[in-house]
Chains A and B, each alone.
Chain A
């Protein structure tokens, strides 16, 4: 675990260079933007779920919190979008801090409680009585901030940050402690690990990445409704992508997003009925034959998967 920095650096570099070069050859920038966004979210989720074993079904709550916080400081305070993105990340961290007591729950209870928290935030934001602040159900419109190119490169930066963070955690003592917590929290305590602190830190890091991604997404599209950024589909996609690729690895979420989001765009938008069948079939096959994701095929052959 404490080796393999080189493979981590290579995976990160290839991914980033791809998203720098491909826009010159392929003009669907929004697809590439979304792919980067899902890869960043997948790495963010990986930090909490892959390393500590806690699966927040309501992960999208951080994304939505970031999107709204970023938009509101642009609209009301006229702050630069880049600063607004940072505010989005920090707001998600704040939301994450409020939710730390959820760690008293375990397994499915934690997952469901985080989903409830995300939905609660959605209903607060979408409340018509808060129209003067959040625009309520009528959504956000900030055409003055629209700059798709700048948002694209910002998302690339967030992807880089998420990959580097996830890669460092995976190869560090901190990552080792998180893995120990995932395997057995009591034994981790008996090894001197401050379980509450470590778990909270990974939770907040994970929230920060989702908040940044949410704020940048809001900036990119610049017109959105509460259900756009609190959509359960975003959360479910992220979870499925990292499960498909392989949790607890750097490359797994990248491969998972590339294949499944690619498939979604290839057949999911034009013929959603076939997409649903293909998606369902893939997930069934995955659970039956590759519960640890695609990268487990390499692990079985003794490859040290980054």
Chain B
């Protein structure tokens, strides 16, 4: 793989749930160190796209290549060990395990090189809760725990699902800075977000989805002036 080759290439993704086509030919690619925004109205297929890339379910058609390898048949845990991870829109901690154990599982099993769980907890501001059960954290702390757990697997590609929801403007800026920091270290990020201001702080390249289709790919500034994007968001 050449250094400027994309780390993730998604081509014509298709996925149906019964009669509903949740993904209908979505394509994009992502390079190491790049942050790509993924926007679209509710139900447009953004989270489905993340689920497809992480192997939560199998796609009906299309291709997913990671670091040059077709991974669409791989089980989730194998994709994680290869270097893909995500955060969840609604956090999914291990509620009965301690905060430290939550990250420790991922540090042990997520990749060959073991991450230091405590360092990650310090980095995400959760060190003081290390011995508390994860269920005692509030929802934004649980989001940070989800991020720490994903980082513990040393991902080369991180899919971030609406991490900005519920954060105040200062917290949003800090989060944007944090994500840019990861990208500066060479990590590729796909950031699913409703909040255009937040996306504006982390990236200038955007994919807009609507009803399972790629509606727009390009500069964020152009997207806000594109009549199709405006129609999709505002309903015409």
Contact = CB atoms under 8 A, between A and B. Distances in A.
A196 B81 CA distance: 16
Interface in B65-105: 75-77, 80-81, 85-86, 88, 92-98, 101, 104-105
Nearest to B76: A189
Nearest to A189: B76
B56 A183 contact: no
Contacts of A195: 77
A286 interface: no
Interface string B32-69: 00000000000000000000001010000000000000
A177 interface: yes
What DSSP secondary structure best describes chain A's contact surface? helix
Interface string A173-191: 1001101101110111111
B77 to A, nearest CB: 5
A191 B108 CA distance: 9
B111 interface: yes
A265 interface: no
A192 interface: yes
User: What interface size band does chain A fall in?
Assistant: 20 to 34
Contact of B153 (A2, A182, A191, A194): A191
Contacts of A188: 94, 105
Interface residues of B, number: 29
B7 interface: no
A189 B81 CA distance: 10
A189 B92 contact: no
A53 to B, nearest CB: 10
Contact of B92 (A1, A187, A193): A187
Which residue, B76, B88, B93, has most C-beta atoms of chain A within 10 A? B76
Contact of B80 (A177, A182, A190): A190
B150 interface: yes
A180 B134 CA distance: 12
Interface in B91-138: 92-98, 101, 104-106, 108-111
A190 B54 CA distance: 8
Which residue, A2, A180, A192, A196, has most C-beta atoms of chain B within 10 A? A192
Contacts of A177: 105, 108-109
B149 interface: yes
Given A190-B150, A192-B110, A192-B111, A179 B96 contact: yes
Which residue, A183, A190, A195, has most C-beta atoms of chain B within 10 A? A190
Given A191-B109, A193-B109, A186 B56 contact: yes
A186 B55 CA distance: 10
Contacts of B77: 189, 192-195
Contacts of A193: 77, 105, 109
A184 B97 CA distance: 11
Contacts of B97: 1, 176, 179-180, 183
Contact of A187 (B94, B108, B111, B152): B94
A184 B110 CA distance: 16
Contacts of B96: 179, 182-183
Given A189-B76, A192-B81, 19 more contacts: A2-B104, A173-B108, A176-B104, A179-B94, A183-B94, A183-B96, A184-B92, A184-B94, A187-B88, A187-B93, A187-B94, A188-B105, A190-B150, A191-B106, A191-B152, A191-B153, A192-B109, A192-B153, A195-B77
Which 10 pairs, one residue from A and one from B, show the smallest C-beta to C-beta distance? A183-B94, A192-B110, A192-B109, A191-B106, A189-B76, A192-B80, A187-B92, A180-B105, A191-B105, A193-B109
